[in-house]
Structure 1
Amino acid sequence: MPQVRQALVAGSFYPAEPYRLQAWLQQQLAVPSSSAAPALGLVVPHAGYVYSGAIAAAAFAQVAVPPVVVLLGPNHRGQGAPAALYDQGGWQTPLGPVAVDEALAAAVLAEVPGVAADPAAHAGEHSLEVMLPFLQWLRPDVRIVPLMLQAWSLADLLTMGQALASLLQRWPQPSLLLASSDMSHYVTATAARAQDLPVVERLLALDAAGLYRQVHQARVSMCGVYPVTLLLATLAGLGCRGGELVRYGHSGEVTGDEGSVVAYVSALFR
């Protein structure tokens, strides 16, 4: 019987009741954007929908979701393989199951160095789960390849990105790369912007090495630096030349407290 990962943060990060979740998605994504079109990549935040959902939705609304989405997210808990792939079965959300694209997952295991099959590592992690309702709403038959990263060197991530780009160029079905990350954590809104904007500049320039170094040298508490670096390295190999900022914001815009915020960005790569 195929393994199914049950929803972990339904009811906390996003509504657990299908009708409430559908109503929220309808409000955020009901009107198709005139610019909705195929894309190579997305970067979106993964906090609770009340805080970052609108920032993520603004990017999702501009994308025609293809049959397969490769999900790249951080491993907040630090458990399991350094690059843990959920390679079989599916993921459950209040909107129903999402199937893993097992053929592409097997190819990733065979061709991308450092990746290991480790579904158990995903059991307690939220960074990819919160992406799924957006994808299901926009394309109910979407299939996913969920890959979760711990700390990697820049050289390793660039090598992994080259291998993943080569694989996706040869793959018979179109795919979307989606990296999940929040930006600065628990600093003032002013400090968050000062720390984050140089990182966002590197992000939009498709500068994987520059983003990696900026985050580490400036000690920016960007939780998804490793998946985003991998995304940029892969996009460069796919011929992407740069990205566009969709929206930047922070939790203080919702809570009214700008003394300690978590910041978020969404960006789109054609």
Structure 2
Amino acid sequence: MPERMPVVAGRFYPDAPDVLQAEVRSFLAAGKSYSATAPLDPDHKASARLSGLMLPHAGYVFCGKVLGATLTSPLGQTSAGASLPERLIILCPNHTGRGAPLAVWPQGSWRTPLGNMPVDAAMAAALCGSGGFVPDMQAHLDEHSIEVLLPFLQCLPPPRGKAGAIRSITPVCVGTMQHNSLLQAGLALAEVVRQCEKNGDRVGIIVSSDMNHFDNQEATMHKDALALSQALACDPEGLLAVVERHRITMCGAAPMALALFAAHALGEPWAELCLYDTSATASGDTHRVVGYAGLRFGLA
């Protein structure tokens, strides 16, 4: 069975298991205090269904705070992390330009210094039946944007009602910005999720994305506000349009649009911001900045 080995361990995050686990747990613990001040919509707390999250994928020194806050944001009396289901589909951008436009890692596992996360082969096969998704490992081999998230997912509490359960992942690398391709993929993803849930299996969608890259602090925050306004409005067409119009280098705009197309096909989506930050907080450099946002989204 194929095993995807880590490629940015020791660079984006520690490669020593004990150091990595301690660092991730510290961000998750600190995230509870950050999320207490996040501008979450109280209307969602009573009846909202969490469908997924958007998480950043930079080095932990830059985005660990946002990862921790997003994964510990409260949803009613529970936390987002505790309510993430056992089966997760992770949509990431394609930074390398390799492989198919909608590349699914089909089976096996992904290794981190904390151990293996199993790939959901049944989910991968179901996705590859329609919507342009194809089995393709090439796009994932040197792509860091799923790998960086996995240690955080490995350190979360197990899914509710699944004591000791290990979450499985279906990695999908999205390398197209074409509206029609993303729409058709979103409709196909929604149908797979719908069929799983008819069988009693909850499915979560995680989008891996950083925000605008390498403008100064003021320009980055302005561009990020434009993109986030469309994501928070659950408007995939608007997100794709504003990113193109204003040359916003949000690397996961296409995966986020795909997820929002799927959410609309499943019901009435909502989205909210858990925390926003930029690299300047950690680096002190306000001239060459990357933005990071943690969102959660779901169905009313």
TM-score (norm 1): 0.94
2:277 to 238, 243, 249: 249
2:146 to 128, 134, 137: 128
Counting only pairs closer than 5 Å after superposition, residues 18-167 of structure 1 correspond to structure 2 as: 18-30=17-29, 39-62=50-73, 63=80, 64-111=83-130, 113-138=131-156, 139=158, 141-167=166-192
Post-superposition offset of 1:119? 1.2
Is the 2:132–2:184 Cα contact (8 Å) retained in structure 1? no
Q: 1 CA distance for matches of 2:63 and 2:24?
A: 13
SS in 2 for 1:170: helix
TM-score (norm 2): 0.85
SS in 1 for 2:189: helix
Is the 2:99–2:138 Cα contact (8 Å) retained in structure 1? yes
Matched to 1:215, the amino acid is V
Moved more, 134-143 or 95-104: 134-143
SS in 2 for 1:87: coil
Post-superposition offset of 1:162? 1.2
Stretches of structure 2 lacking an aligned partner (at least 5 in a row): 37-44, 74-79, 159-164
Post-superposition offset of 1:32? 9.0
Matched to 1:20, the amino acid is V
Counting only pairs closer than 5 Å after superposition, residues 171-210 of structure 1 correspond to structure 2 as: 171=196, 172=199, 173-210=201-238
Q: 2 CA distance for matches of 1:32 and 1:260?
A: 25
Stretches of structure 1 lacking an aligned partner (at least 5 in a row): none
Moved more, 137-146 or 70-79: 137-146
Q: 2 CA distance for matches of 1:97 and 1:180?
A: 19
Post-superposition offset of 1:200? 0.3
**Overall identity of the aligned pairs, in %:** 38
The answer as to 2:14 corresponding to 1:15 is yes
Decide whether aligned partners of structure 1 residues 116 and 43 sit closer, same or farther in structure 2, where only a CA change above 3 A counts.
same
Q: Write out per-residue CA displacement over residues 4-24 of structure 1, whole angstroms, 9 at most, x where no aligned residue.
A: 001111111111111111111
Q: 2 CA distance for matches of 1:258 and 1:21?
A: 28
Is the 2:30–2:69 Cα contact (8 Å) retained in structure 1? no
Runs of at least 4 residues off by over 6 Å: none
Counting only pairs closer than 5 Å after superposition, residues 206-217 of structure 1 correspond to structure 2 as: 206-217=234-245
Is the 1:205–1:243 Cα contact (8 Å) retained in structure 2? yes
SS in 1 for 2:293: strand
Counting only pairs closer than 5 Å after superposition, residues 226-265 of structure 1 correspond to structure 2 as: 226-265=254-293
Q: 2 CA distance for matches of 1:210 and 1:38?
A: 24
Equivalent in the alignment of 2:40: none
Is the 1:65–1:135 Cα contact (8 Å) retained in structure 2? no
Post-superposition offset of 1:263? 0.7
SS in 1 for 2:50: coil
Is the 1:85–1:105 Cα contact (8 Å) retained in structure 2? yes
Matched to 1:18, the amino acid is P
Number of residue pairs matched by the alignment: 267
Q: 2 CA distance for matches of 1:160 and 1:4?
A: 26
Decide whether aligned partners of structure 1 residues 18 and 120 sit closer, same or farther in structure 2, where only a CA change above 3 A counts.
same
Matched to 1:178, the amino acid is I
